[in-house]
C-alpha cells in the first residue's frame, strides 16, 4: 500500500519527522486557497467566535483562541462534547477543528450551532469528510494521512494553519511564516537526543507535571495528553502560576516537572521553576524563548525561534518526542495505544 513504515520503527516517529513538510504544505496550500478569505471575513465580522474541537485538535484551538483574545476578539473555546450547554446565534461564527473530520461530538456541535444560524468554518486534514461537507467554508491542513493514533504532524499542521488564519484576522504581516518549516525542522533535530533522554528518565515514573504560561499552557496540555495516550504515565498540565494552588502538594524528591517556556513572562516562570526545585522536583525546561536556567540542577534546552509567534510550532516536536521515547522505553506500541481510537464516531 501507499502507506507503509518505509523503514521506520513506528508510524509515530515517521509522522513526527514528516511534520515540517506538513506545516510547509499546509501554509502554502492555505495561502493559495480562495476559501481562506471567506473564513477571515466571517471570523472578523462575527460578534463572537466559538472554537469547537476534541483532544489534540482542541489544544490547537486554544492557541488560536488565545491569540485572538489578546487582540480584542471575543472567542469561546468549546470542548466538543460540552457543546449542549451553549447557544449560538446568527451573529456568531464557529470554527470546528478536526483532523479526521469525523469526530461525532464535533460534528453534532457543528450541526446544532449551524441550525442556530451561525456561520461554520472547518479545518480538517482529509477531503470529503462529514465535518467539511456541513461547513459553510471548508479549510484543510495538508499533513497527508496520519496512521499513529495519537496526533502528531496533524497537530503541528493545525497550529501552522491557525497561526496563518489568526494573523490574517488580526491584520498583521504573515512574513514570519516563511520560517515555519525551518523552525520545526531545527527544533526536531536539535531536541531529539535530549528528548530521548527525558523520555527514558520519566518512563519509570507514575506521575508528572507540564507547566507553562500563556501559549505555553495549551502546549503543556498537549505534552501531558501525549504522554498519557501513548506511555500511560499520569500527567497533568497547569498554568505554572496556578501550580502553587494545589498541584505542588504532590511534588517531592524526583517528581518530574517539565517547564514549557514560550518566552512569555519569563521571570514569573523562573520563580515557579525555583518553587519546584526547592521541593527537589526533577525539573526540565524546553525553551523557545530566553533561557530560564536558574541553577545547575535544571536540564534545559533552548530552541532557536526566528519570531516569537513561531514558539508553539517549535515546541510541538520535542513534546511529542518525550512521549514517544517514554513509550519506547516502556515497551508499549506508540501507534496503537490501548483503549484509544484514531477517530471517535460515538458520543
Ligand atoms: C481521538 C484521537 C486523538 C484526537 C481526537 C480528536 O481521541 O485519539 O488523537 O486528537 O480523537 O480527533 P479529530 O479527528 O477530531 O481531530
pLDDT at 297: 73
If you measure from the C-alpha of residue 330 to the centroid of ligand 1, how many angstroms do you get, rounded to a whole number?
23
Mutate to test the pocket of ligand 1, among 98, 224, 343, 345 (most ligand atoms within 8 A of CB): 343
Q: Do residues 56 and 12 touch, judged by C-beta distance below 8 A?
A: no
If you measure from the C-alpha of residue 61 to the centroid of ligand 1, how many angstroms do you get, rounded to a whole number?
13
If you measure from the C-alpha of residue 25 to the centroid of ligand 1, how many angstroms do you get, rounded to a whole number?
21
pLDDT at 2: 60
Tell me the ipTM for this assembly. Answer: 0.97
CA gap 111, 106 in Å, rounded: 9
pLDDT tens digits along 170-218: 999 999 999 999 999 999 999 999 999 999 999 999 999 999 999 999 9
Query: What lines the ligand 1 site, CB under 6 Å?
Result: 54-57, 98-100, 103, 106, 149-151, 340, 342-344
- The residue among 192, 232, 237 whose CA lies nearest residue 332 is 232
Please state the length of the chain: 347
Question: Which residues of the chain fall below pLDDT 70?
Answer: 1-2, 294
CA gap 325, 168 in Å, rounded: 37
Mutate to test the pocket of ligand 1, among 53, 56, 78, 104 (most ligand atoms within 8 A of CB): 56
* Concatenated DSSP letters of 147-214: -SSS-SHHHHHHHHHHHHHHHHHHT---GGGGGHHHHHHHHHHHHHHHHHHHHHHHTT-SEEEEEEST
Give the SS3 label for residue 119: strand
Please tell me the residue having the least CA distance from ligand 1 atom 2: 342
- For residue 80, the 8-state DSSP code is G
If you measure from the C-alpha of residue 221 to the centroid of ligand 1, how many angstroms do you get, rounded to a whole number?
14
pLDDT at 129: 97
The atom of ligand 1 lying closest to the CA of 154 is 16
Amino acid at each position: 500500500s501507499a502507506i507503509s513504515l518505509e523503514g521506520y520503527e513506528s508510524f509515530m516517529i515517521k509522522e513526527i519527522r514528516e511534520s515540517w513538510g506538513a506545516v510547509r504544505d499546509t501554509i502554502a496550500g492555505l495561502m493559495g486557497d480562495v476559501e481562506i478569505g471567506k473564513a477571515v471575513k466571517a471570523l472578523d465580522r462575527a460578534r463572537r467566535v466559538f472554537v469547537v474541537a476534541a483532544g489534540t485538535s482542541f489544544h490547537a484551538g486554544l492557541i488560536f483562541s488565545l491569540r485572538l483574545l489578546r487582540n480584542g476578539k471575543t472567542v469561546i473555546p468549546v470542548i466538543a462534547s460540552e457543546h449542549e450547554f451553549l447557544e449560538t446565534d446568527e451573529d456568531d461564527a464557529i470554527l470546528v477543528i478536526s483532523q479526521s473530520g469525523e469526530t461525532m461530538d464535533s460534528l453534532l456541535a457543528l450541526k446544532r450551532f449551524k441550525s442556530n444560524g451561525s456561520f461554520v468554518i472547518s479545518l480538517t486534514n482529509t477531503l470529503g469528510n462529514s465535518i467539511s461537507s456541513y461547513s459553510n467554508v471548508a479549510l484543510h491542513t495538508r499533513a497527508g494521512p496520519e496512521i499513529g493514533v495519537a496526533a502528531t504532524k496533524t497537530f503541528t499542521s493545525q497550529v501552522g494553519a491557525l497561526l496563518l488564519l489568526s494573523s490574517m484576522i488580526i491584520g498583521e504581516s504573515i512574513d514570519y511564516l516563511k520560517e515555519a518549516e525551518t523552525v520545526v525542522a531545527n527544533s526536531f533535530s536539535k531536541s531529539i537526543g535530549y528528548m530521548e533522554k527525558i523520555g527514558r528518565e520519566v518512563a519509570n515514573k507514575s506521575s508528572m507535571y507540564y507547566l507553562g504560561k500563556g501559549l505555553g499552557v495549551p502546549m503543556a496540555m498537549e505534552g501531558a495528553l501525549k504522554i498519557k495516550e501513548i506511555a500511560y504515565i499520569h500527567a497533568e498540565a497547569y498554568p505554572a502560576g496556578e501550580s502553587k494552588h494545589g498541584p505542588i502538594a504532590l511534588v517531592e524528591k524526583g517528581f518530574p516537572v517539565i517547564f514549557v517556556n514560550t518566552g512569555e513572562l519569563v521571570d514569573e516562570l523562573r520563580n515557579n521553576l525555583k518553587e519546584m526545585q526547592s521541593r527537589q522536583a526533577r525539573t526540565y525546561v524546553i525553551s523557545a524563548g530566553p533561557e530560564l536556567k536558574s541553577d545547575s540542577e535544571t536540564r534545559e534546552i533552548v530552541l532557536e525561534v526566528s519570531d516569537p509567534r513561531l514558539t508553539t510550532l517549535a515546541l510541538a516536536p520535542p513534546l511529542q518526542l518525550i512521549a514517544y521515547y517514554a513509550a519506547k522505553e516502556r515497551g508499549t506500541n506508540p501507534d496503537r495505544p490501548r483503549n484509544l481510537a484514531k477517530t471517535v464516531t460515538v458520543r
